[in-house]
Structure 1
Amino acid sequence: MNLTSARLVLVEVSWYDIPDIHRLHSLPEVDEYNTIGIPESEDDTRDVIRPWIEDQKNERRSKYLWKILKNCSGEFIGIAGMSMSSDKFISGEIFYKLLPSHWGNGYATETAITLIKAGFESFHLHRIEAGVATENIRSVRVLEKAAMTREGRRRKILPIRGEWRDNYHYAILEDDPRDY
């Protein structure tokens, strides 16, 4: 399942995308608020994305991972994902990571909006959530621009480089107002 927006195309990842994903995950700027840490090798990256790729075979999917490409050039600029609940709550959780050279251009907001629209229109979700480290001001702004509501703060829930960090919890409901 591919998703498109005005400037981006999100294409489901494959094993061929490991070098690009490894390069993304290896950047200290990207790792600053990441709980997985910097992978030591492409094999480590393969292990991280394995569940996402293997889920593509399932009839009833619970995980989607896309590479983010500029639609004008096909250039890889990051990844985005959505995990679905497997229960009566009909919810999903989104995330995104971009190469730092593409920060500040609105691509993260465009990606978040694309994921939210797909969540409601294609996956028929009731609720879409996202978590963000409280210090990650850039992502806080992205989620708020995407019309998500901060619902609370989870204390010391993120294990980042041996230290426990707080997390803001954001969500948007299918009937919440949004201008997209």
Structure 2
Amino acid sequence: MELFTKRLILTEVTWGDVDIIHRLHSLEEVEEYNTIGIPRHTGDTLEVLLASIEDQQMSVRNHYGWTVRTHEDGEFVGEAGMHLSGDSFRSSDIYYSLLPAHWKKGYATEIVKRMIVFGFSELKLHRIQAGVATENVRSIRVLEKAGMVCEGLRRKILPIRGEWKDNYHYAIVEDDPFEK
């Protein structure tokens, strides 16, 4: 399954994407606020991607994971995904990571907006949410530009580089005003 934005193509992750996603997550600046940390080897990356890849065969999905490339030349930009609640809550957590060369181009906002549209229109979700380290100003801006609202602060919940960090909780619900 592919999702399209004005400038990007989101294609479901395959086994062939493991190396490029591993390289993405091996960059310190990409992983600065990631609780998993930098993967030691491709096996670590494969373990994280396993659920998204295997879930593609299921009739009821709990995970969606995409590689993100440009329409123009197919250049790898990053990855994004959704973890569905799989229950009556009809909700999903979203995530995204981009190569630093593609930061400050509006790509992350474009990706998040597309996942929101997909979640509400095709998956019939009620709520889409994301957690973000309070220090991650760029990602906070992305979520707000995509129409998500900060619902609160969770104190010292993120284990990042040996320290406990605070986390903002952002969400959008199906009847919130949303600009596609």
TM-score range relative to shorter protein: over 0.9
CA distance in 2: counterparts of 1:164 and 1:2, whole angstroms: 37
Partner of 1:63: 63
Partner of 1:44: 44
SS of residue in 2 equivalent to 1:24? helix
Offset at residue 164 of structure 1 (A): 1.0
CA distance in 1: counterparts of 2:179 and 2:116, whole angstroms: 12
Return the letter of the residue paired with 2:171: A
Offset at residue 75 of structure 1 (A): 0.8
Q: Give the aligned length.
A: 180
Matches within 5 A, 1:20-169: 20-169=20-169
Unaligned runs of 5+ in 1: none
Offset at residue 121 of structure 1 (A): 0.8
Offset at residue 79 of structure 1 (A): 0.3
Larger CA deviation: 45-54 vs 137-146: 45-54
SS of residue in 1 equivalent to 2:68? strand
CA distance in 2: counterparts of 1:159 and 1:2, whole angstroms: 33
CA distance in 2: counterparts of 1:85 and 1:42, whole angstroms: 27
CA distance in 1: counterparts of 2:175 and 2:56, whole angstroms: 29
CA distance in 1: counterparts of 2:132 and 2:178, whole angstroms: 20
CA distance in 2: counterparts of 1:128 and 1:48, whole angstroms: 21
Percent identity at matched positions? 59
Return the letter of the residue paired with 1:103: W
Return the letter of the residue paired with 1:156: K
Offset at residue 47 of structure 1 (A): 1.3
Offset at residue 52 of structure 1 (A): 1.5
SS of residue in 2 equivalent to 1:61? coil
Offset at residue 133 of structure 1 (A): 0.3
Using the size of structure 2 for normalisation, the TM-score is: 0.98
Offset at residue 54 of structure 1 (A): 1.2
SS of residue in 2 equivalent to 1:83? strand
Offset at residue 113 of structure 1 (A): 0.3
SS of residue in 2 equivalent to 1:142? helix
Partner of 1:16: 16
SS of residue in 1 equivalent to 2:56? helix
CA distance in 1: counterparts of 2:108 and 2:67, whole angstroms: 13
Offset at residue 45 of structure 1 (A): 1.1
| TM-superposition CA deviations, 1:88-145 (whole Å, max 9, x none) | 1111111100000100000000000010010001101011001100000000000000
CA distance in 2: counterparts of 1:45 and 1:129, whole angstroms: 23
Unaligned runs of 5+ in 2: none
Superposed structure 1 runs of 4+ greater than 4 Å apart: none
CA distance in 1: counterparts of 2:178 and 2:57, whole angstroms: 33
Offset at residue 147 of structure 1 (A): 0.6
CA distance in 2: counterparts of 1:50 and 1:89, whole angstroms: 24
